[in-house]
Amino acid sequence: MTQAANRYRDYLRARYRCILGYTGLITAIVGLLMLTPLALLFFYPQERAVAPAFLVPGLALLAGGLILWRLLVPRTGATLSYQEGAVIVVLAWLVALLAGTVPFIWLLKYSFVRAFFESTSGWTTTGLSTVDVLATSHVMLFYRSAIQWAGGAGLAIIALSALAGPTGPGISAAEGRGEQLVPHVRRSATIVLGLYTAYNVIGTVLLRLVGMSWFDSVNHAFAALSTGGFSTRPESIGYWDSATVEAAIILLMLLGTLNFLTAYTLLHGKWRAVIRNGEIHVMAFLIPLCAGALFFLVTLNLYPTLGKSARVAIFETVTALSTTGFNTIDYRAWPSFGWIVLIVLMLIGGGTGSTAGAIKQYRVYVLYKALVWEVKRMFLPPGTVTEPDAWVGETRQFLNDARIRQVALFVFIYLVAFFVGSAVIAAHGFTVQESLFEFASSIGTIGISVGVTSADLPQAVLWSQIIGMIMGRLEFFTVIVGVGKLISDARQMV
């Protein structure tokens, strides 16, 4: 009996060496990323003073991570299961979120909670912020965009693209990026990262062409394509008040929210599969419907010109659905109907396998299909064979009960968390509307605000938003599996 327990303990120790080793690899990547803002010192040499706030944590993570990785991972590499991937994802995100706080505490003298909030908002591509962007250095602003860029791509995808990454699909599945473009997980990760980088280059040039400065272009391209939404201007995209800038940003936000698999199918010229795709249907239905409703019932009477009203209606619809969180106006002037449209859009959110968050269009589409299927079956003879389907990439997938159960449970846990979080905000004296809006924005990693999020927010509200953002980004089950496994294994090993 004890011998068996000992053997199991040895086995677990060996597995945790790999787990910590790969966590080390991701830590090193995070460290490298924290050094990238320093490249801006070439353009803004007067900001030299901020360098240590990035150099120290960046180099420390890089060195520590590399040592862990070289010491612990066997030379031949290792394969990870989904559960082990979940542990790595949880640990790596903790490291990234904690490391991300350092520049905020160091340079902006924020309290730990506030810095953690900013860091989480960045990594999870939410975009809620209490930073006064006018009083902040360029390097710091770029740092915020860089962590959104990386959080959008996903730590697992970046780690897998590294030549020395783990084998097996466990880790990418754990970070909610299980869908592959090609039949090998590493090649798939490399293609995703390539597509994403290409988007960013094109996006930056596009924004420069429509009139932004280079610095604003880079930051806004990163923030739009990662569906993050940090801006370098306090008025966000409203600063430019230009139809062409808004059109360009809308295009980038839609690209960010488009499933990479769909984009890849599209690149291969398979229009038919894309037209059949459920997520495309959801977007093609929701965007005109909601933009139309907002235009006629909300913005038409609020803004001086017809053109401005139409622009606002379309822009706010896309920013909420794509979970980006740029804005061009202040929502506080809006009537309740406008708020509820945005809350519904924020709950639905973007495409699966994209940089977006929230419940996601695919799940909504699956539940809609299942509902139609259920109703149809009531009219058919009992033995009839039916086959509800959904198109993913270029293949037709059939919906079975297991799939529908998974999706329904996810939506259930999401809505439970949504209402609990909103209740926490409401308990601190905010109205129901404000609470629902702000928490939908946190948990869906969107980032539009009706003014609840501010520097003097009670700690409990900040923490609930932080937990909401992390849970929303990692899709609940990964956190549950990762933390659960850590706890039960720790008990075995000690």
Partner 1 sequence: MAAMQYTVIAGCGRLGSLLAGDLSKQGHSIVVIDRDETRFTNLSIEFSGFTIAGDVVELEILQRAKVDRADCFLATTNDDNVNLMVAQVAKAVFQVPVVIARLFNPAREAVYRELGVATISPTKLSADAFLHSIQTSNQSQV
| Residue with tokens 């629902």, as numbered in its chain | 436
Instruction: Output 104-112 pairs: Cβ under 8 A, ≥24 positions apart.
Output: 106/52, 106/53, 107/50, 107/53, 107/137, 107/140, 108/136, 108/140
CB of residue 361 to partner 1, shortest distance in Å:
23
Task: Return the bridge partners of 392, or none.
Answer: 395
Q: Which is nearer to partner 1, 166 or 447 (CB)?
A: 166
- 3-class state of residue 79 by DSSP: strand
CB of residue 188 to partner 1, shortest distance in Å:
8
CB of residue 180 to partner 1, shortest distance in Å:
7
Question: Would you say 40 and 2 are in contact if contact means Cβ atoms under 8 Å apart?
Answer: no
Q: Which is nearer to partner 1, 180 or 217 (CB)?
A: 180
Q: Which is nearer to partner 1, 272 or 376 (CB)?
A: 272
CB of residue 59 to partner 1, shortest distance in Å:
31
Q: Which is nearer to partner 1, 259 or 309 (CB)?
A: 259
Task: Return the bridge partners of 398, or none.
Answer: 389
- 3-class state of residue 225 by DSSP: helix
Per-residue CA distances from 135 to 100, 138, 188 (Å) = 19, 10, 41
CB of residue 488 to partner 1, shortest distance in Å:
19
CB of residue 272 to partner 1, shortest distance in Å:
14
CB of residue 81 to partner 1, shortest distance in Å:
5
CB of residue 262 to partner 1, shortest distance in Å:
17
Q: Which is nearer to partner 1, 402 or 487 (CB)?
A: 402
Q: Which is nearer to partner 1, 166 or 278 (CB)?
A: 166
- Taking only Cα atoms into account, the Rg of the chain, rounded to an integer number of angstroms, comes to 23
Residue 391: which H helix or E strand, with range? strand 389-392
Interface ranges with partner 1 (CB under 8 A): 79-82, 167-170, 180, 182-188, 395
Token pair belonging to 356: 């977006």
Over 437-487, what HEC string results?
Answer: HHHHHHHCCCCCCCCCCCCCCCHHHHHHHHHHHHHHHHCCHHHHHHHHHHH
Q: Which is nearer to partner 1, 153 or 160 (CB)?
A: 160
Q: Which is nearer to partner 1, 404 or 471 (CB)?
A: 404
Question: Would you say 222 and 304 are in contact if contact means Cβ atoms under 8 Å apart?
Answer: no
